[in-house]
Amino acid sequence: MNITIDNYRTLNFDTIDIQEEWNMTAEREKRMHSIHAYPAKFPAFITTKAIHKAEESDISVKTVADIFCGCGTVAYEAVRNGKHFWGCDINPVATLIAETKSQSYDDEILEEYYNNIISCYNTCVVNKDDEIYKNERIRYWFDDGHIDELLKLKTAICEGVNNEIYRNFFLCAFSNILKPCSRWLTKSIKPQIDPNKEPKNVLVSFKSQVKMMRNANLDNTGNTQGSADINCVNFLDVDISFSFVDLVVTSPPYVTSYEYADLHQLSTLWLGFTNDFRTLREGTIGSLYHADNFNDNINKLNETAQDIVSKMYSIDKRKTRSVAQYYIDMQTTVHKVYKMLRSNGGCLFVIGNTEYKGVKIDNAKHLTECLLKEGFINVEVDRRKISNKILTPYRDANGKFAKIKGSSRKIYSEEFVIFARKK
């Protein structure tokens, strides 16, 4: 549906038709997309559809960007389509996965490095003075035996692989076995211990993970290859001094995006990105760690955001402050996207709505207003089904998907695809 500055305010976005073209396709995703677990993963096919849509709209797409690139789904698909990719994410675990996905590897070299790792592992003696043993969160999630084995494996990877690109491949494999080898409740979206869980064997898990990743890498054979430039940085801090992108394809984080830092805490701690995973919350979109004065924020909000914030204020003042900061950050984001796009460039956002204590958090309408007020033209808004939630529209108290209401919390099963162009 085409949206204009004259009709967006009165439009109920939930009445916009669901467009089948944005629902999951029958084509199977490349195995490289599954090399590492990641929450709220972006559907791979949307990138290719976005590129085709842009090119059909007479946009010459040479450079694709994802400003919240996460685990690199857009990066991989852009490279696979022969495009140059530029992306960033504040989460170092995400950018490690994205960099790993965006590379092609010589399988013979992988085999050689893998054998080096196993050889080093078999002769490695753990250093009991290592800082990892002093970290309370590590000891919370892992028993002593698994800490020993994981430290041996990480040491073997660092000593057995002298090429950074290939070392990251094996560190990515290491990262993805951490949850199975811990007490973390399997398939939970929340950090929660499973008292009945038997953690997996470290070396067996690693061997299986590497085998899967090598097979996934072989899928790349014969694909048209572009190039990728991936940065571990907060997009809000990126200096956009000139236009260098033809198409932005991205999915903004939700209001509670700081939770991603909690979900990746095992990897951030084990890979040495931080000694306290909570520090990674500080720059996230909508985080109160960098919030401006609330009254100042209110005056900067667009009309849609002011409506939502005013409804929330009497319910939960702290949450309202966070939502206000989220909308301020998103308004800044859209302004910077406009600056980074070349003339006649386009952007495609995938974003969902949420609800908080009966107040609808209409992220799609807010983002649409941002685009219109920034000067974007030809703004189109469609709805799509979120395929993995169609049959399980509730979450239970542990954060697992559920099929029945009971005490479960309903989640949205649709999201919005918003496309716009720069003049």
Tokens of 324: 């206000």
User: What are the tens digits of pLDDT across the range 66-104?
Assistant: 999 999 999 999 999 999 999 999 999 999 999 999 999
d(CA 360, CA 326): 15
Q: Which amino acid is at 346?
A: G
User: What are the tens digits of pLDDT across the range 241-250?
Assistant: 999 999 999 9
Nearest to 245, CA basis, from 421, 2, 18: 421
Domain range list for the chain = 2-94+228-262+278-421, 107-218
User: What are the tens digits of pLDDT across the range 189-228?
Assistant: 688 999 999 999 999 999 999 999 999 999 876 666 889 9
Averaged pLDDT for residues 347-360: 93
Q: Which secondary-structure segment (H or E) carries 355?
A: strand 354-356
Query: What number of CA atoms fall less than 13 Å from residue 335's CA on the CB side?
Result: 11
Supply the pTM of this predicted model.
0.91
d(CA 18, CA 324): 29
User: What are the tens digits of pLDDT across the range 273-312?
Assistant: 988 777 777 767 766 666 668 888 889 999 999 999 999 9
391 pLDDT band (50/70/90 cuts)? very low
Helix (H, G, I), strand (E, B) or coil at 220: coil
Nearest to 418, CA basis, from 361, 376, 358: 376
- What is the CATH code of the structural domain delimited by 2-94+228-262+278-421? 3.40.50.150
Q: What's the whole-number average pLDDT of the chain?
A: 90
Query: Nearest 5°: CA angle at 14, between 361 and 302?
Result: 45
Lowest mean pLDDT among 19-28, 136-145, 162-171, 404-413: 404-413
d(CA 367, CA 327): 9
Highest mean pLDDT among 40-44, 187-191, 311-315: 311-315
